[in-house]
Copies of this chain bind each other. A is one copy, B any other.
Amino acid sequence: MQIEIVPNVNEARSDNFINKTVIVIDVLRATSSIVTALENGSEGIIPVETVSEAKSFNIKNELLSGERYCKKITGFDLGNSPLEFLNHDMNGKRIIMTTSNGTRAIQKSHKAAHVIAGTILNASQCAKKAIELKRDIVLMCAGTQDKFSLEDGLCAGLIIHELNQLQEEEIQLSDFSSAMYLSFLQAKNELQKTILNCSNGKKLCKMGLKEDVIFCTKQNEYSVVPILRDNIMVSM
Contact = CB atoms under 8 A, between A and B. Distances in A.
Interface of A: 7, 147-150, 153-154, 174-176, 178-180, 182-183, 185-187, 194, 198-199
A185 B198 CA distance: 17
Question: Which has the most chain B C-beta neighbours within 10 Å: A7, A148, A175, A187?
Answer: A175
Contact of A175 (B150, B179, B187): B150
B174 A153 contact: no
Report the 4 A-B pairs with minimum CB-CB distance, sorted nearest first: A186-B186, A150-B175, A182-B183, A182-B186
A77 to B, nearest CB: 31
Contact of A183 (B7, B179, B199): B179
Given A7-B7, A185-B186, A179 B178 contact: no
A187 B182 contact: yes
Question: Which has the most chain B C-beta neighbours within 10 Å: A176, A182, A194?
Answer: A182
